[in-house]
């Protein structure tokens, strides 16, 4: 398999964690977002959305959208699983993953932040307010969700797709100055996840393109 991604991309980071949890080997092809490589003709042929990640499977299929990629990995390589064993648990894990991937991350995406600064004229203070209102607001909801579902991790005591989404979202939130000080449950889970070897391997700073910007 080949993963097209970017070291600091939170959506790519999710998939790297899932691949590492499943112990899967893959090739990595960096797409430099700061150089606009996501908009190159070659990459657009893989993902017309001009977003990373994309996964090329062993059969040559291209899958985009990190949640769809993680669902594919689960179906193609079921063991070890990154989903809870019961239907309610799976639904809760998907709820948390979807909330982080759809209600938090898109509001802090590079192209959105560029638009807000360069087209809509937001200054640093207004941008920070935006980030705390939208990604921060969605994370506040997830803090409440995990209060009901958590054990050692987001849903129970086993790592799931929810944790694959939480850690990159937390990493991005810190990077962009979202106030996470009130999210004590998420912080505890984040710190525990970071100690796991799969999360260590998937960390942005461990990626080959980490210093190439
Ligand atoms: N919903 C997509 C989001 C992908 C996404 O937003 N990727 C960002 C990096 S985390 C990106 O490629 N941004 C490029 C840009 O904004 O131009 C997924 O889950 O895969």
* CATH number, position 110: 1.20.1050.10
Domain end residue (candidates: 36, 63, 80): 80
Is there an atom of ligand 1 within 6 Å of 52 CB? yes
Domain end residue (candidates: 37, 61, 80): 80
In a shared domain, residues 76 and 91: no
- Average confidence (pLDDT) over 102-131: 96
C-alpha 168/C-alpha 136 separation (Å) is 14
H/E run at residue 62: strand 62-64
In a shared domain, residues 76 and 130: no
Ligand 1 binding pocket mutation candidate from 105, 135, 164 (most atoms within 8 A of CB): 105
Domain count, the chain: 2
Which ligand 1 atom is at minimum distance from the Cα of 168?
Answer: 10
The rounded percent of the chain whose pLDDT value lies above 90 is 99
H/E run at residue 190: helix 184-194
In a shared domain, residues 53 and 100: no
Q: Is residue 174 part of a domain?
A: yes
Q: Is residue 43 part of a domain?
A: yes
- Average confidence (pLDDT) over 100-107: 98
Phi/psi of residue 63, each to 5°?
-120, 135
Please answer whether residues 146 and 154 qualify as being in contact, where contact means their C-beta atoms are separated by less than 8 angstroms.
yes
Is there an atom of ligand 1 within 6 Å of 108 CB? no
Q: Is residue 211 part of a domain?
A: no
Ligand 1 binding pocket mutation candidate from 13, 52, 62, 161 (most atoms within 8 A of CB): 52
Q: What is the CATH number of the domain that holds 58?
A: 3.40.30.10
pLDDT-based confidence at 212, cuts 50/70/90?
Answer: low
Domain end residue (candidates: 80, 101, 130): 80
In a shared domain, residues 108 and 19: no
pLDDT of residue 211: 80
In a shared domain, residues 18 and 111: no
In a shared domain, residues 92 and 152: yes
In a shared domain, residues 131 and 52: no
- Average confidence (pLDDT) over 78-97: 98
Q: Is residue 206 part of a domain?
A: no
- Residue 86 CA, ligand 1 centroid: distance in Å: 30
Q: Is residue 212 part of a domain?
A: no
C-alpha 117/C-alpha 94 separation (Å) is 32
Whose Cα sits closest to atom 14 in ligand 1?
51
- Residue 52 CA, ligand 1 centroid: distance in Å: 5
Is there an atom of ligand 1 within 6 Å of 111 CB? yes
The rounded percent of the chain whose pLDDT value lies above 70 is 99
Q: At residue 59, does pLDDT exceed 80?
A: yes
In a shared domain, residues 120 and 178: yes
Whose Cα sits closest to atom 9 in ligand 1?
9
Q: Is 36 helix (H, G, I), strand (E, B) or coil?
A: coil
Is there an atom of ligand 1 within 6 Å of 116 CB? no
Q: Is residue 209 part of a domain?
A: no
In a shared domain, residues 154 and 191: yes
- Residue 119 CA, ligand 1 centroid: distance in Å: 19
Q: Is residue 74 part of a domain?
A: yes
Average pLDDT of the chain to the nearest whole number: 97
Which ligand 1 atom is at minimum distance from the Cα of 64?
Answer: 20
Domain encompassing residue 23: 2-80
The β-bridge partners of 62 are 56
pLDDT of residue 17: 98
In a shared domain, residues 67 and 112: no
pLDDT of residue 116: 97
Residue among 139, 120, 142 nearest 131 (CA): 139
Which ligand 1 atom is at minimum distance from the Cα of 12?
Answer: 10
The per-residue pLDDT for range 164-173, each reduced to its tens digit, is 999 999 999 9
């Amino acid at each position: 398999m080949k993963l097209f991604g970017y070291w600091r991309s939170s959506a790519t980071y999710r998939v790297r964690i899932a691949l590492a949890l499943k112990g899967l080997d893959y090739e990595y092809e960096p797409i430099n977002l700061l150089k606009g490589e996501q908009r190159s003709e070659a990459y657009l042929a893989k993902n017309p959305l001009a977003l990373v990640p994309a996964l090329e499977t062993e059969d040559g299929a291209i899958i985009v959208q990190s949640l769809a990629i993680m669902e594919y990995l689960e179906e193609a390589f079921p063991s070890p699983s990154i989903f809870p064993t019961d239907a309610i648990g799976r639904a809760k894990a998907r709820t948390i993953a979807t909330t982080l991937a759809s209600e938090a991350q898109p509001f802090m995406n590079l192209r959105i932040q560029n638009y807000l600064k360069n087209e809509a004229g937001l200054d640093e203070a207004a941008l920070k307010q935006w980030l705390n209102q939208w990604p921060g607001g969605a994370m506040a909801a997830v803090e409440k969700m995990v209060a009901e579902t958590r054990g050692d991790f987001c849903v129970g005591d086993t790592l799931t797709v929810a944790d694959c989404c939480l850690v990159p979202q937390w990493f991005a939130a810190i990077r962009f100055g979202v106030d996470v000080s009130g999210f004590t449950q998420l912080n505890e889970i984040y710190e525990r996840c970071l100690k796991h070897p799969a999360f260590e391997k998937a960390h942005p700073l461990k990626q080959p393109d980490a210093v190439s910007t």
